[in-house]
Structure 1
Amino acid sequence: MVQSKRKIRNKKRDNYSPISEQFKLIRTGIDLSGIDKKQQVILITSPESGTGKSTVASHLAVAYAEKGAKTLLIDADMRKPTLHKRFSKYLYPGLSNVITGEIPLEDSLQDVNFKSTSLSILTSGQIPPNPNDLLSSKKMADLIESLRDTFDKIIIDTPPVTIVSDALALADSTDGVILVCRYHKTLKEKAKHATNQLRLSKAKIIGVIFNGTKNAENYYY
C-alpha cells in the first residue's frame, strides 16, 4: 500500500488511483472523528522504524490539499528527515531554523505544486544536537499555535514513539495522533506499548493505520 516518492510527486496525474482513494477514505474518517472538535493539527508516529509513517503523512497531506484545504506538512523527524527528498525540496532552512529564530517562518515554507491545490512543506531544517530540546520548547508550541491561523490542516511527521520521546513532546500541541503500524512487521506488544506511551502523555489517538497490506480491505483505519 506504499507509493514511492516518484509516484507521490506525480500524484496530480493519478488522482483516482486505489491508494489515492484509500487516503480519501482515511481523510473522511479523520474528519468524522472530529465532529465535536476540529482535527486541525494531526501528528503521525509509529511504534518502530520502517512502518512507512512518512509516506502516510505525505499522502494524507496531499489528500487534504486535493480537497481544497490549505495544508501544511511538517517534517518534525529531525533525526531521520525524509520529506524533503519525497517532494524534491531543500532540507534547510526548515523547522529547526525557525524554532531557533535563525530564519523567519515565511522564508522557510516551500510550496508543493499540485494542480489546484494549496500544499506547503516545512522541512526539518539543519539537524540539531538534541531535537527533543527544540520540539518540547515553548517556541515550538507557539509556532504550532500561530500556524493554526494560517492553515486549515497541519500534518506533522514525527519519529517512532517507542524509540525517542519527540512525538510525546509534541502530542499536547496537536488535536490527535495517528499510529502507523506495518502489516507482518509490527508486533502486537510494540503497538500496545506505543499506545500506552501516547495515552500517558494524554494524546488523543484518532486511529491506527496498518501499512503494507495486500489489499485495501485490510488497510485498517
Structure 2
Amino acid sequence: MEFTPKNRATVQNMPKLPYAVEEALNRLRVNVSFLGSKVKKIMVISSAPDEGKSFIAMQLWRQMAEAGSKSILVDMDLRKSVMVDKYQIVREDNGKILGTSDYLASDDTLDKYVLRTNIGAGDLLPNKENIINPSMLLEGQKLASTFEELDENYRYTFIDAPPLNLVSDGEKIGSLCDGALLVVRAGETPKAMVRNSIRQLERAGCPVVGIALSRAKGAANGYYHKYGNYYGKSYYGKGYGYYGKHGYYGYGTEQK
C-alpha cells in the first residue's frame, strides 16, 4: 500500500566527508545499483560492534537519496541505537520522534512514523527508544508486513541491523531481506568470525551481496579511522576465497 510520510525532519549533523571518502561511497552506491532490480531490501550488518556498519548504512542511504533513488533507512538496531542523537535528527514541527520500536509495538500505520527528510529522495525510520529484548517485535507478523510495504514504496530499503555475534536479531531481520552488505573491520575481525557470519546469513536465507572492509590503516590524518573507510584490495589475501563470490567494495591503499 502506498503511503506519504506525515512528518518531515532535518538531518542537522550530516558530516561533510573528504573527496576520497565520497568517491569511495559513490563506487559503493554504483556497485549496489548493479545488483539488479530484485535486490531492494539490503541489510547492512557486521560480525562485531564498532566495525562501521552504521556509518556505511547512513552514507549509502544518503548517496542513493541524493542520486534520486527513492530510499529509506530503517534503524533496526533496537537495543543500542544512536542514530537520532548522533546525526541530530529533528522533526520540523519540533514534535517527538517516534521510531521503529514504537511503531512495531503499536497498531498505528507506517506513515505516522516514517520521516520525510532534507536529504534528496530519502526517508528515515529511526529508532529512538532502545529496548532490552526486542525478540517479540522481530518475530511478529508486523515486521514482515512492514518490509513488504516498504518494498512497494521505495527503490531501496537499507536496514541498519545489530552485530551478528552479539544477538540473533540480525538473522531474524535478514530472513526478510534480499541481501546483506557485510562490514568487516580491516585487520581486526578474525577470518573465522567472518566466515561464520556468512554462514549465519545464508542459513537465514539472506545472501551476502557484498563485503565492505572498514577502517584500513594508514589513512591520512586519522579521518578515515574516525568515520570508517573501505578499500578495494583483498586484505585477507590468498586462500580466503569468498571475495570472488561475494564481491568487495571501496578504496584505500593496499595492506602490506
TM-score tier (shorter): 0.7 to 0.9
Once residues 39 and 18 of structure 1 are traced to their aligned partners in structure 2, the CA distance between those partners, rounded to angstroms, is 27
Assess, with a 3 A threshold, how the Cα gap between structure 1 residues 207 and 8 changes in structure 2: closer, same or farther.
farther
Tell me the CA shift for residue 86 of structure 1: 3.2
Which structure shows the bigger proportion of residues in helix conformation?
1
| Amino acid across the alignment from 2:175 | D
Which of 178, 181, 185 pairs up with 2:184?
Answer: 181
Q: Is 90-99 or 72-81 further displaced after alignment?
A: 90-99
Contact 1:96 1:127 in 2 (8 A): yes
Tell me the CA shift for residue 8 of structure 1: 6.4
Larger radius of gyration, structure 1 or 2?
Answer: 2
* Alignment TM-score, normalising by the size of structure 1: 0.86
Which of 153, 168, 177 pairs up with 1:150?
Answer: 153
Contact 1:42 1:156 in 2 (8 A): yes
Q: Deviations over 1:99-124 (max 9, x none)?
A: 1225542222223313xx11111112
Tell me the CA shift for residue 28 of structure 1: 1.5
Q: Is 99-108 or 78-87 further displaced after alignment?
A: 99-108
| Pair 1:195-2:198 in alignment | yes
Secondary structure class of the residue paired with 2:116: strand
Query: Over the residues paired in the alignment, what is the CA RMSD in angstroms?
Result: 2.3
Partner of residue 45, structure 1 = 45
Trace 1:52-201 onto structure 2 (pairs within 5 A): 52-89=52-89, 92-101=97-106, 103-114=108-119, 117-201=120-204
Higher RCO structure, 1 or 2 (CA under 8 Å, sep 6+): 1
| Pair 1:205-2:187 in alignment | no
Partner of residue 240, structure 2 = none
| Amino acid across the alignment from 2:195 | K
| Amino acid across the alignment from 1:148 | D
Once residues 80 and 210 of structure 1 are traced to their aligned partners in structure 2, the CA distance between those partners, rounded to angstroms, is 22
Q: Deviations over 1:54-74 (max 9, x none)?
A: 001001101111110111111
Partner of residue 222, structure 2 = none
Secondary structure class of the residue paired with 1:190: helix
Q: Which runs of 5+ in 1 are unaligned?
A: 1-5
Secondary structure class of the residue paired with 1:38: coil
Once residues 107 and 88 of structure 1 are traced to their aligned partners in structure 2, the CA distance between those partners, rounded to angstroms, is 20
Contact 1:8 1:59 in 2 (8 A): no
Partner of residue 31, structure 2 = 29
Q: Is 16-25 or 197-206 further displaced after alignment?
A: 16-25
Tell me the CA shift for residue 197 of structure 1: 0.9
Q: Which runs of 5+ in 2 are unaligned?
A: 1-10, 91-95, 220-230, 235-247, 250-256
Contact 2:13 2:88 in 1 (8 A): no
Contact 1:54 1:82 in 2 (8 A): no
| Amino acid across the alignment from 1:170 | I
Once residues 210 and 46 of structure 2 are traced to their aligned partners in structure 1, the CA distance between those partners, rounded to angstroms, is 12
* Alignment TM-score, normalising by the size of structure 2: 0.75
Tell me the CA shift for residue 85 of structure 1: 2.3
Q: Deviations over 1:12-45 (max 9, x none)?
A: xx6x8211111111111122232xx522110011
